[in-house]
Amino acid sequence: MSDRNILTEFTYERPTVERGYAGQTLYVDVSANRVAAKPVTAMMKEKFIGGRGFDLWLLWNGVRDTTRWNDPENEIVISTGPCGGTTQYPGSGKSIAVTISPLTGIPIDSNVGGHFGPYLKFAGWDAIEVQGKAEKDVIIYIDGQAGRVTIEEAPADAPTDTHLLGPWLMARYAQSEEDRELTSIVSAGTGAGHALMGCLNFSLYDRRRRALRYKQAGRGGIGTVLRDKKVRAIVVRSPGVSGDANGPADLGRLQATGAEMHREVRTFDDKQNRMRRRGTPYLVQIMDDYDLLPVHNFKFGSHPDTPKINGDVWEARMTQGLPDGCWYGCTVSCAHAVDGFELKTGPYKGEKVIVDGPEYETVAGVGSNCGIFDPDAILEINFYCDTYGIDTISFGTAMAFAMECYEAGILDKDKTGGIDLSFGSAAGALEVLHQMSRGEGFGLIFGQGIRRMQDYFIEHFGADAGFVRDIGMQAKGLEYSEYLTKESLAQQGGYGLTNKGPQHDEAWLIFMDMVNNELPTFEDKAEALHYFPMWRTWFGLCGFCKLPWNDVVDPKNKLTPEPQKIMHHVENYRQIFMGVTGLEITYDDMITMSERVYNFQRVFNIRLGHGLRADDAVPYRSVGPVTVEEYESRAARYDSQLREWLGLDPTTMTVEEKMAAHRKYREERYEKLIDAVYKRRGWTENGVPTLEKLRALGMDLPEVVAVVEKHL
């Protein structure tokens, strides 16, 4: 290609992947146009495993204590882990992306499907770290077939929005059908360049559709960092995919374990959640039935119009009969899409496009939480968020906040530039989204996220500080994912006591806690908030998706001593890890692996000026009813709780008195939960991992101890 302006070129001899590791990581500095290889040490594999662990360790060594998200030394690091790229077991193609978040100011980790992570490893790299800021937009190209890495100036005609950029890059780097199948792209769109909630799109080439599709590393603004670095895309070409591409120690072990899990999926999926036909939206009606679906900015947990957007609706809309997995060999195949959707708004109005998803989080976030129960509107928002590079979870939760502020009179059309942001206004939500892509109007304010909107509304619009703090569903600066937590103290902790902010991939305990009442004491909740975050962290170290763990389950699991842990599948993962790496491990070893990285990430937060008890606070909307409307919508429940919990007679109290009594009790209860969890995790009362805990984990590295000692 004559128009390829190559700024730097690096050649390498592609290593053979052995026991899950290529043995080296790729470093790219787009300020200095420098590319280098770094060795994967025995210490990295022992203490950090891979995936999120490698990401955090490389980021830790790349930044300073004072580094902020838009400093050149901030990095984006992506790794899949030793088991990533396994084709024998469902959901084994995940990657984890990490950076210092524009929203939170601390490391954010976001898991994502697609082909990039495994292809990167098969191209010879266990991770890639991108540092610096380019003068002009660049493309990083990793050619695993030729053993060559280039940084190239992006031509003036290169698109930015993902659904256009992907085909343009394929035409440039992958002319043959075989190369298209072996090529994957990481990119963000125009929205990520103006908003702090930008996401990364990871591509997979859909052989049946002969088109690119995308999965999102959505949380925390990683796409914003990519655009700030002026990286238009990272492209990798893999030398190929095979059943032994990971260089497993025991291929037969993988095959036997995988065959049994595939049997479970084929036998039980249609009878349980129908993941292969409707994906994660199967949850919508279930959440509504249990009063857990976020409606109108998490005020309510159900709505009469939910059947308009439940799993039945999406099963009918999604194209059926295609093997919609986001990695080879995944029989769960949850990555569905709607084909031939005609856009009705925006710069691409009239185009027919593929819409990946929607996932449950998108349906609940931009749908019910905003009072939007129109499937076409949800698909339109879903598509534009993806192509603009905007996280649908942050967008939906932030839009629900803005809509409540509009209905409360904090916002009006003068302040929004004429946009109606009443609950249910799909047109208003889409106009804000299009403004975000253009970097103008109310979209610029909105795109900064809830935490900054709260400050802006207080300073510029005279908003009541207590009210907007109570209803703004963010913690640590990250917008909540889409579950109502008022009646689940454990899930309040599952959001508030995370390292990165309120995301359900650390702990989803609502059913154990609220529905089944399996966690009656603070100690029970603390134990769950120790085990499940550690167990779920393990997926991100190794390259696994969590869905095959607990979304398709053999009924015999109910007969096991700890059915909530789904130990039959935990054993599967133990076998897969041992089959790939050749390391014999126990269940306790798996939790210890995660504890090392989890505690390291907590210390990383502290190093950057956050990560103490004050940072684990949550908005009161997630704990109890903020408004009279909320209280009265569930008055019988709340009145009964006053009698049962506090021995009060609600008939003698005003609504305001009842709400105040609830608030005092519920906030004190949350603080007691924090005490119990910190104690179980081996942290001080201020949330700092103790030196004893770090020593027990073998994580008393000098640089880690130096941070901790300042706070003991």
DSSP string, 323-349: ---SSTT-SS----EEEEEEP-SSTTT
- Encoding tokens for residue 683? 């942290």
User: What would the pLDDT profile of 340-359 be if each residue is shown by its tens digit?
Assistant: 999 999 999 999 999 998 99
User: What would the pLDDT profile of 178-209 be if each residue is shown by its tens digit?
Assistant: 999 999 999 999 999 999 999 999 999 999 99
pTM of the predicted model over 0.85: yes
Minimum mean pLDDT among 236-240, 272-276, 353-357, 694-698: which range? 272-276
pLDDT attached to residue 1:
56
Does residue 157 contact residue 280 with C-beta atoms inside 8 Å? no
Whole-angstrom distance, CA of residue 16 vs CA of residue 123: 9
Determine which helix (DSSP H) or strand (DSSP E) holds 37, and give its type and residue range.
strand 34-39
Whole-angstrom distance, CA of residue 185 vs CA of residue 311: 30
Whole-angstrom distance, CA of residue 605 vs CA of residue 611: 5
User: What would the pLDDT profile of 495-509 be if each residue is shown by its tens digit?
Assistant: 999 999 999 988 889
**358: cis peptide before it, omega within 30°?**
yes
Mean pLDDT of 232-236: 98
Mean of the per-residue pLDDT values for the chain?
A: 96
Q: Is the pLDDT of residue 175 over 90?
A: no
- Encoding tokens for residue 112? 């994502």
Q: Is the pLDDT of residue 2 over 80?
A: no
pLDDT attached to residue 37:
98
Whole-angstrom distance, CA of residue 29 vs CA of residue 38: 13
Strands 107-112 and 95-100, by their bridges, are: antiparallel
Does residue 355 contact residue 382 with C-beta atoms inside 8 Å? yes
Whole-angstrom distance, CA of residue 502 vs CA of residue 481: 7
- In degrees rounded to 5, what are phi and psi of residue 342? -90, 120
User: What would the pLDDT profile of 578-600 be if each residue is shown by its tens digit?
Assistant: 999 999 999 999 999 999 999 99
User: What would the pLDDT profile of 638-669 be if each residue is shown by its tens digit?
Assistant: 999 999 999 999 999 999 999 999 999 999 99
Token pair 């130990």 is found at 567
Whole-angstrom distance, CA of residue 199 vs CA of residue 120: 19
Percent of the chain whose predicted confidence (pLDDT) is above 70: 100
DSSP E strand stretches across 107-171 = 107-112, 127-131, 138-143, 148-153
- In degrees rounded to 5, what are phi and psi of residue 708? -65, -40
Does residue 358 contact residue 382 with C-beta atoms inside 8 Å? yes
Counting DSSP H helices and E strands in the chain, the numbers are 29, 17
- Beta carbons within 8 Å of 502's beta carbon, 6+ residues apart: 473, 474, 475, 476, 478, 479, 480, 481, 495, 496, 618, 622
Strands 337-342 and 352-356, by their bridges, are: antiparallel
Whole-angstrom distance, CA of residue 389 vs CA of residue 195: 9
- Beta carbons within 8 Å of 681's beta carbon, 6+ residues apart: 530, 599, 689, 693
Mean pLDDT of 143-158: 97
Q: Is the pLDDT of residue 419 over 60?
A: yes
For the beta carbon of residue 458, count every other beta carbon within 10 angstroms.
17
